[in-house]
Structure 1
């Protein structure tokens, strides 16, 4: 299903977790079939800040998908098939920098992939398709997110590198210290391949990172625990949800960034929705 009548079902997509399941008004749930199986759950489409928004729960509503088993390709394909062209990816991350404590908002400009075994392309056969990924996030989306956060008095870290690990375990202290030694500032488990798959579909993608903990190599003690992550995320979910609403409202209706043109001149081995 790509449209409702002659109009897209949604223009903006949000891929999020707990706390985002009921933030839309007048929700319609849409079951979307994709060549990559079903998305994490039926897509919730509704109104937010005067815009048509599609929401997919990244891990499923019952949190049944660990980070390495999320159907990333199905999620992004489903959003595009509904008309989505701009995607926001709020997520919980750890900090590799002592100055970025729990509750910090970060809008990274770079990504480092340390995953293994995840399907991370739509173009694995049929043609050699190489998309530009030097700057993995949409510049317009990042600017809009940073400006919206500042307007709400939540000063963000406006750049940095998010390293994505395979999970579902947390890092050892040695791994954490090595990541930090590379100059990487944030660590998570879901930002890749989400960002590159969005790029391969010519979508705008912006990561909104909420720091929930200092990673194991940065702070003494017992290391990162799921209890700590959920506690800090719960304390800040209202603020993060309000920010997503502000960003949705402020995103431009016309895309003038490079993202829509990333596939120009390429002969694709499949037809995009």
Structure 2
């Protein structure tokens, strides 16, 4: 299987850019089932990059149906060390306006039906990763600098992404409560990706594309699918340009992945007590920590 350093998760429009060449489709099987779709591997800025359409081509999977573990484990099997995640979000702040980009540095979990898809651990191997800072600051820096190269783009660095269950959008009461908590943007997918990426020792950062004001803003309509699609369409080329620059900068990085080894001291269960079947499933992540 071809090994690539950089993975991108987002909509199918992201890899439909003229700058990508030598494209091939790769289906990856994992111990956690199939990912959302086949990967598209192509060359961008001289670097081989693996693209994964988060919801499948044709947008067939709800946020609660996403195979988060399979998606991230497949990235690991492909050799990915850095994941750039792109997703639409609602804004919970006046100054984070539709068409703006945000690079959040924190996540807040409000999901309730994804426990099995939120960790690789369990079934005889217990692990507790350090997750105080869920976003790779180095990747955040790269995304911020990459955004500056796109003319007319307003970008906000930092902020908290609250991850809701969905698929329905927020009620007005919920939206107002999230604002009172100090949340900045709202989405339905990135928390699980970030957590699993950390367990898999992959650096992760989000490029959030603001499409709406959720439903709290008195001067703007409540979020709808039409609204999300309209603003995503307006911004897809800007997102492509940011990713193009970010890939170039990640490829040129001289320092190693800062999260290589992140799981080593997170595993609580001694190797001699590991469930053999679970150890086999997680071999790509923890196999190197087993006593030989």
Q: TM (normalized to structure 2)?
A: 0.87
Which of 14, 17, 21 is the matching residue for 1:20? 14
Task: Verify the 8 A CA contact 2:149 2:242 in the aligned structure 1.
Answer: no
Q: What does residue 289 of structure 2 align with?
A: none
Query: How much does 1:139 deviate?
Result: 1.0
Distance 2:58 2:264 in 1: 39
Which position in structure 1 is the counterpart of 2:244? 245
Structure-1 separation of matches of 2:98 and 2:12: 17
How far apart, in 2, do the equivalents of 1:256 and 1:137 lie? 16
Counting only pairs closer than 5 Å after superposition, residues 144-163 of structure 1 correspond to structure 2 as 144-153=142-151, 154-163=153-162
| Greater helix proportion | 2
Identify if the C-alpha distance between structure 1 residues 257 and 21 changes in structure 2 by more than 3 Å, giving closer, same or farther. Answer: closer
CA contact (8 A) 1:177 1:218 kept: no
The answer as to 2:117 corresponding to 1:131 is no
Structure 2: 5+ residue runs without aligned partners? 286-292
Larger Rg: 2
Tell me if the contact between 2:47 and 2:247 (Cα under 8 Å) persists in the aligned partners: yes
Instruction: Give the TM-score of the pair, scaled to structure 1.
Output: 0.93
In 2, Cα distance between equivalents of 1:219 and 1:67: 27
Give distance in 1, aligned partners of 2:51 and 2:12: 12
CA pair 120-34 structure 1, distance change in 2 beyond 3 A? same
| Aligned match of 1:195 | 194
SS of the residue corresponding to residue 113 of structure 1 reads strand
**Distance in 1, Cα, partners of 2:221 & 2:137:** 38
Shift of 1:222: 4.5
Deviations 1:143-169 (A, max 9, x none): 111111123343410110000100000
1:263 matched to 2:263:
yes
CA distance in 1, matches of 2:126, 2:173: 37
The aligned length equals 267
CA offset at residue 38 of structure 1? 0.6
1:75 equivalent in alignment to 2:74: no
Query: Could you say what secondary structure the match of 1:259 adopts?
Result: coil
Q: Which runs of 5+ in 1 are unaligned?
A: none
Which residue number in structure 2 is paired with residue 176 of structure 1?
175
Query: Could you tell me how far apart the structure 1 residues matched to 2:247 and 2:7 are?
Result: 9
Q: SS in structure 2 opposite 1:235? A: helix
Contact 2:211 2:228 in 1 (8 A): yes
Distance (whole Å) between structure 2 residues aligned to residue 121 and residue 254 of structure 1:
30
The answer to whether the 8 Å contact 1:166/1:189 transfers is yes
